[in-house]
Amino acid sequence: MEKLKFLKSKDVQTKIYLVLSVIVLLIMGYYSYMNFSKFFSMREQISVNEKLHSALVSTDQNVGDELKKVKEEGSALEQKIKNEIELVLPKTESHTSLTRAIEKFSNDINRVKDPFMLSNLTYSEPEIPESGNYNILPVKMTIHSTYSNFYKFLDFIDNSGALSDGSRLLDVQSIVINFVSPKGSEDNISGQDEINFNASINAYIRK
Amino acid sequence: MIKYKEIKTKNMPLFKLKKENPAETSPKEAPTMPPSSVPAKKEEPVGNVYTNIFEKPTAPREEDVKSDIIKGVFTSEEKKLKPGDNILGPLPELEKKIIGAFDPSKRKLNLIRTGFFALIGISLLLIGFFYIELTPNFDLLTGLRGPNTVQKLNNTQKDVIALQTSINQKNYLLLNYYLQEFSYLSDTYLTARNKSLPQNKITDLTNQMLLAYENALTKWKEPMVVAGIPEETFKTELKNNLTLELAKFKKAEAAPDTETQINSYEATIKLIDNKRLSSFFGFNTDEIKAALPMDDSKIVSMANTALEMLQNDFSTISQLKSERMNWATIINEIDKVTKSVDTLYNTGFYEELGGIQYSAYDLDASSGRIVLTGNVKRDDGSTFSLITNLMDALDKSLMFSNIENRNFPKSGTNEEGYSSTFRIELSLENPTLPTTPV
C-alpha cells in the first residue's frame, strides 16, 4: 500500500491521465480513420449505385423493347421452327406419319422395270440410349429393289431430317443386301442388279 | 508566481474575512474578543461647546481593542510558544479551499482529467455513431431515420444487381433467339448446298446468316457485370431468375406459346455456362464482310460450329446427322475397288466371262464391320488370286481396314472353268474420307 501512495500525487495522476489520453487518442484516431474511410467510401458507392441504377433503368427499357419487338416479329419464324422440329424430331413415336412417308417414297419410285417393293415394315419398342436428348424408334424393313433404287433409298435416308422439308430424321444402322437377280441373269427384268435388302433403321424421338 | 509560503505570511488580510463572519469563528478565538458588555467611564466635560464637537464613543474603538489583543498575543505567546509552533494555529477551512484553487498542479490535473474524460465521451459517441451506421443488422432506428449507411449500400447494390440481371436476362433471351435463327439458317444452308440451289438463293441465305450472327455477337458483347460486382454473382442471379420463370411457364396452363417459351428458357439457361460460345464468336465479321460473298467452307465451318456448340433441338438433330453413316459412299467405294480388280464387274457378263459377283453385303454401323460374300469365276483357275487381289485392293482403300478372308474353296474343271466363293470381312476405317482410286 505504501508503494501505491505515489499514485495520490497530482503530478503522477496528471501523467497517467496524459498517457491514457494519448493512448485513447491514438486508438480512436486509427479507429475513426478506418471507419470514416469505410463510411465515406460507402456513401460514395451509394451515390454511384444510385446514378448507375437510374442509367440502367433506361437500358433495361431499351432491351425490353428490343426483346418485345423480336418476339413479335420472330414469332412466325419461331412457330415455323417449332413445327419443323416437331416433324423432324417429334416428341412422340409418330410411327403412323413415318409409315405414310416411307410408303409414299416407295410408291413414288416403284416401277415395273425399276422395282422398289417394300414388303415388310416392323417397328420395335423405343430404346433409351445412355446419353443424348433423344430416344430411338427402331424400324426394320424388307425391300425388293433395283440397285439404282437402292441408291435412291440411301439418298432418301441421307437427306432426311432437313428442317426445310420437315422430313423425319432417319439413320440406317445396318443393311444386308442379297443380290437375288444380278444383271444379265435370266429372271432379271430391269437390266440391272436386283436385290433384296433388309434395312435396320433408327427414327428418333425428342426427349 | 507567488509561492504558498509567501501567501501564508504576506496575505494575512485573509484573516479579516474570517473574523467578519462571527458564525464561523472558532470557540477558541472567542475569548480573545473584547466583551461588548464592558461599561465605559463617562468623562467630565472640559472647555466650551466647541471644545468637543463630537461625542466620544463610550465603547473602545476596534483598532484599540485589536492593538491590545495583538499586543497581548505577542507578549503572552512569546512566553509560551516554542520555535516551530504555529502562532496562529490551524489554517481555517475556507482558506484551504481558496488556496487550493490557486494550486497550479491541481489545476493541471483537473484540466488533463477533464480532457481525458471528454476524449472518452467523444470516443463513445464515435463508436456509437459507427455502430449505428456500419452495422448491417442494426435496425433499432430504421423506423425513425430509415436504413443506415451499410443497409442503404446493400439496398442500392441489390437494386443494381436486380436491374442488371433483368437486362442480362433479356440480352440472353435475345442471344438465344439470334443463335436459334442462325442455327436454323445453318441447317437450311447445309441442306441447300447439297441440293445445288440457285446462287441467288444461297447468297440470300448467307446474308441472313451473317445478320443473325452479327445480332448474336452484339448481344454476346453486352456487359454482364457492373459496379465491380463479380461476374459469378450475376450468372447465379441470371440462372435463378430464368429457372424461376421457367418453373412458372411449366406450372402455367398450356397456352399457344408456352412450349416455345419453355424451350427458349431451357436453351437460354444452357447458354449461360456454354464455354464454346467464345470460340464461336471468334469469327471476324469485318473480315467476312470485306470478303463477301462468303466462302462456302467458312459458312459451313460457322454453321457446324453453331450447330455443335448449342444444346438445343438443332444441335441434337445436327449431332445425329453428323453421326449418320453415309452408306451410299461406302457401297460406291466397294463397287469402285471391285471394278479396279475386275474390269467387267457389274457389266452383265459374269456368266459368260467370269469375274467377281457379290451375293450379299452385310453392313453394320454399330460394329463398323462389313461382310462381303460372293463368287469368283475364272477359266484359268486363278480364282484365289482374284480374291486376294480384291482383298489387297480393299486394304489399299483409306475407307477400309482389317481385311480378312481365311477360307479359300475352289471347284470346277478346265472345261467348265473354276469358281470360288469368298466371305471377306473388313472394318470401316473412315467413311468420311474421300475415296482413292486404286
Query: Which structural domain range is residue B63 located in?
Result: 4-32+46-102
Q: At what angle do helices B149-194 and B258-272 cross, to 10 degrees?
A: 110
Neighboring chain B residues of A35 at a CB cutoff of 8 Å: 126, 130, 134
Beta carbons within 8 Å of B432's beta carbon, 6+ residues apart? B326
Is there a single domain that holds both residue B316 and residue B284? Answer: yes
Note whether A48 contacts B: Cβ–Cβ < 8 A. Answer: yes
The span from the CA of B117 to the CA of B113, in Å, is 6
In a domain, B150, yes or no: no
Is there a single domain that holds both residue B317 and residue B336? Answer: no
Q: How far is CA B9 from CA A185, B13, B90, in A?
A: 159, 10, 14
In a domain, B421, yes or no: yes
Nearest CB partner across the interface for B109, out of A13, A176, A206? A13
Is there a single domain that holds both residue B181 and residue B307? Answer: yes
Tens digits of residue pLDDT in A66-118: 999 988 887 888 788 888 888 999 999 999 999 999 999 999 999 988 899 99
Is there a single domain that holds both residue B240 and residue B259? Answer: yes
In a domain, B255, yes or no: yes
Could you give the ipTM of this predicted complex?
A: 0.76
Which B residues, 358 through 387, put their C-beta within 8 Å of a C-beta on chain A?
Answer: 358-366, 374
Answer whether B150 sits within 8 Å of A42, measured CB to CB: yes
Nearest CB partner across the interface for B313, out of A39, A60, A89? A89
Q: Is the pLDDT of residue B416 over 60?
A: yes
Q: How many domains is chain B partitioned into structurally?
A: 3
The span from the CA of A63 to the CA of A57, in Å, is 10
Task: Please report, as a single letter, which amino acid is at residue B352.
Answer: E
Is there a single domain that holds both residue B379 and residue B292? Answer: no
In a domain, B136, yes or no: no
Answer whether A39 sits within 8 Å of B127, measured CB to CB: no
Residue of B nearest to A158 (CA): B326
- The model carries a pTM of 0.66
Is there a single domain that holds both residue B316 and residue B388? Answer: no
Q: In a structure prediction context, what are the per-residue pLDDT tens digits for chain A, which is 207 residues long?
A: 556 666 677 788 888 889 999 999 999 999 999 999 999 999 999 999 999 999 999 999 999 999 999 888 878 887 888 888 889 999 999 999 999 999 999 999 999 888 999 999 999 999 998 887 899 999 999 999 998 999 999 999 988 988 878 899 999 999 999 988 877 777 777 788 889 999 999 999 988
Q: Are strands B417-428 and B411-413 parallel, antiparallel or unpaired?
A: antiparallel
Alpha helices, DSSP H, located in B252-380: 258-272, 277-280, 285-290, 296-309, 313-322, 327-341, 350-353
Give residue A166's pLDDT. 86
Note whether B110 contacts A: Cβ–Cβ < 8 A. Answer: no
Is there a single domain that holds both residue B92 and residue B237? Answer: no
Neighboring chain A residues of B163 at a CB cutoff of 8 Å: 53, 56-57, 60
Lowest mean pLDDT among B5-9, B188-192, B247-251: B5-9
Is there a single domain that holds both residue B318 and residue B331? Answer: no
Nearest CB partner across the interface for B346, out of A164, A171, A183? A183
In a domain, B109, yes or no: no
**Are A123 and A135 contacting, i.e. CB atoms less than 8 angstroms apart?**
no
Tens digits of residue pLDDT in B70-117: 565 555 555 566 666 666 666 666 555 665 566 777 888 888 889 999
Is there a single domain that holds both residue B25 and residue B170? Answer: no
CA atoms within 13 A on the CB side of A134: 27
In a domain, B343, yes or no: yes
In a domain, B126, yes or no: no
Is there a single domain that holds both residue B251 and residue B184? Answer: yes
In a domain, B121, yes or no: no
Is there a single domain that holds both residue B167 and residue B275? Answer: yes
Is there a single domain that holds both residue B348 and residue B311? Answer: no
* Rg (chain A; Cα; Å): 42
